[in-house]
Structure formats: C-alpha cells, structure tokens
Amino acid sequence: MQTLAVWSLPVLLAITLHEVAHGWMASRLGDQTARMLGRVTLNPFKHIDPIGTVLVPLALLFLGGFVFGWAKAVPVSQRNFKRPQRDMAWVALAGPAANLVMALGWLALIKVAMSLGATLESGGTGSAQFLLYAGVAGVTINLLLMVLNLLPLPPLDGSRVLAAFLPRKWVWHYYRLEPYGLFILLGLLFLGILGPLISGPFLWLRQMLFTWL
C-alpha cells in the first residue's frame, strides 16, 4: 500500500502532463483541436485512459517490473500546421521534454527531503522520507516515459520525430505500423526485450541527474 501511495501521484502527473504538453505545443503551432476539446488542461480526468493510466501501471507495479503507461492521446490535426512534418515533430518532442522538466522538479524535491533528514538508504520512515521516495519515483517514471516515447515505433513520439526526416513518400508506409504499435510494444515487454532496450539510456540519464544530489 505504501508503494502505491508513493507512485500514484508521480505516475499520474507524468502520464497526463506529457499529453498536455502535446496539446499546448500543437496550439502554439496553429492547431487548436486539443484546446477546443478541453484537452489542454491540468485536470487529469480529461486525460485518463482506464487501461493505460490505471490498469497497466498498477499491474507492472505489483509485478515488480519497470512502470510505464499512457493517457488518452491528444487529438492533433496536421492540416492546421504550416509545415506539417516539422511541426508534428515539435509537438511530439513536447511530451518527452515535459517528462524531463518533471524529472528535474522531482529531483529538486529529493534535495528538499534530504535537507530535512531523509536518506537514499532504504528503511527510513517519516514525512521527509516519504517525500524522498516520491521524488525517486517521479524521477524514475518520467525518465522511463521520456526514453520509451523516443523509440521510433509508431505511434510513439520518436516516430513523429523520425518522420520529419523521411522522404514524404516513405512516411505513409512508416505510419502503416501505427495500428500495431501498442501490440508490438507489449510483445517486446513480455518477451523481455523492451527492458534491456531502454535500460541503458534510462540508467545513464538517472545517474547524470543523481550526481547533482
């Protein structure tokens, strides 16, 4: 139960604000679709996907693996962009960028908790220790989501970035993978391939951030 309490807020914020960032960037670049549908909001209930935001993270948490999830995708209409492929890449990058900013925010919370007497050693108790554990969870989930979403597999954000550099005639063929992307991702997870694929960049980033403590 304590583990659930520690992870709940970091996971919810990481998943929902990732999508808010997509909608905000799309709005800045000329597409107001997400804003008109009420998706550029900090209200998490506008973004929650029952499976991706609740069931999958809970299952992974209790199975002891790394935690990830997703919210309802923010609708984006590329025809409202001046340069659709380039602008879509910026919209895609906004999500992982938001996760990086949140990871830095949770890192600051860890520093505050440590100044109040909390320690990274396991077994501590008290409010400061709870804040530290929440901070570690926040850094972890945000770095995981950032690295995961930058994989070039449709519909992940990395695919939108890669598409900006592909010849236009190739993009359509590339996006034909999109209906199968989630199943491919879950298959890689349960086959034990996804973890090793993202663990290297994740561990390097986490080590870089934790050197600031």
Residue 209 neighbours by CB distance under 10 Å:
18
Task: Report the alpha-carbon distance of residue 43 to residue 17 in Å, rounded.
Answer: 9
Q: Which amino acids are annotated catalytic? A: 19
Q: Where are the alpha helices (DSSP H) in 29-167?
A: 33-36, 56-63, 84-115, 127-149, 157-163
Q: What average pLDDT does range 174-180 have in this prediction?
A: 89
Place of tokens 């996760």: 99
| Structure confidence by residue, pLDDT tens digits, 3-40 | 888 988 998 999 999 999 999 999 999 999 999 999 99
pLDDT digits (tens, 9 = 90+) for 129-156: 999 999 999 999 999 999 999 999 998 9
CB 135 within 8 A of CB 213: no
CA angle at 19 for the pair 18 and 25, rounded to the nearest 5° = 95
Helix pair 127-149, 194-210: axis angle to 10 deg:
130
Rounded distance between C-alpha atoms, residue 105 and residue 138, angstroms: 9
Q: What is the mean pLDDT of residues 109-124?
A: 86
What are the residue ranges spanned by the domains of the chain? 2-210
Q: Which residue has the higher pLDDT, 72 or 81?
A: 81
Q: What is the pTM of this model?
A: 0.90
Backbone angles phi, psi at 145, to 5 degrees: -65, -35
198 has a pLDDT exceeding 70: yes
The tokens describing 193, both together, are 């391939």
42-62 confidence digits (pLDDT tens): 888 889 888 888 888 888 777
